[in-house]
Amino acid sequence: MPSDACSQQLSCEALKAPRFPILTFDDSQPDRPLGRGFRIDWLMPGESLVSILWKFACANALPGDALMRLMCPDADPLEGMIPLRSALDLNHLRRLLRLPVNVLRTSLLDRSPGDRYHATFRYCRQCAAHGYHSVLHQLAEEDRCAAHRLELRTRCPQCRRQSPFMINSSVIEAPFRCVWCRSHFCYGLLPVRSTTQAMRRQDRHCLQDRLLLRLGSDASGGSNG
């Protein structure tokens, strides 16, 4: 097995067998994957870019540093960046991930006057069990998950350390896990490699309603059905 694919497999070793298509990349056009593209119906409303990249990396057996180089060629993969709209090229992301620009725009934080967000990764353990993280979880005014009404957490259940909310190679290689000890944020093993949406329809609708309330016309993020 190539070393890159082996590295990603180790980071997801506790996950279910993959049902995503495994894509290949043309070295001459690294932002244009060959074969089937990433599908919008693998996502849920308001999915954060971090959550999207975790799924994309697992689908394509891409280690974190390789995905960072594809996404942000000029950035240090270890240092990374905060997922802000102003920090990333949406058109480049659209070509790489094969997702609509409006979905990607919703997945990113918007640094505007009065806009407040948490620099620490916040999560709902129930959402994490479904392989989902919402951009709503990072907004300062949101204290509970819109779908499950659970208090949003910032500390790892095991080591009690906090993970940064940012995109870098270390974060990408720890899907729905603590970047320090690699413990799961959820209650059990998560289905991040599965294309089947496990969250209930009514919970997805709650997320969509909250997105519309908070983000207005900008709210659009994945499958609503």
pLDDT tens, 177-193? Answer: 999 999 999 876 555 54
Mean pLDDT of 117-139: 92
Mean pLDDT of 35-39: 56
State whether residue 73 is helix, strand or coil: coil
pLDDT (tens digit per residue) in 4-26: 444 444 344 433 434 444 444 44
pLDDT (tens digit per residue) in 86-118: 889 999 999 999 899 999 999 998 865 556 889
185, 9 Cβ separation under 8 angstroms: no
Q: Is 154 left (phi over 0), alpha (psi -120 to 50) or beta?
A: alpha
Decide if 78 is inside a domain.
yes
pLDDT at residue 12, as a whole number: 43
Decide if 42 is inside a domain.
yes
DSSP assignment of 154-222: -B-TTT-PBPBSSBSHHHHTSTTB-TTT--BSSSS---TT--S--S-HHHHHHHHHHHHHHHGGG---S
Decide if 224 is inside a domain.
no
Domain residues for the domain of 75 are: 3-200+207-217
Spatial CA neighbour of 78 closest among 186, 168, 188, 11: 168
pLDDT at residue 111, as a whole number: 66
pLDDT at residue 190, as a whole number: 54
User: Taking the complete model, does pTM exceed 0.85, yes or no?
Assistant: no
pLDDT at residue 62, as a whole number: 87
Higher local confidence (pLDDT), 220 or 83? 83
Decide if 223 is inside a domain.
no
pLDDT at residue 160, as a whole number: 96
Decide if 162 is inside a domain.
yes
Decide if 153 is inside a domain.
yes
200, 181 Cβ separation under 8 angstroms: no
Number of structural domains in the chain: 1
Does residue 166 surpass a pLDDT of 70? yes
CA atoms within 13 A on the CB side of 216: 1
Decide if 63 is inside a domain.
yes
204, 44 Cβ separation under 8 angstroms: yes
State whether residue 78 is helix, strand or coil: coil
Decide if 225 is inside a domain.
no
107, 56 Cβ separation under 8 angstroms: no
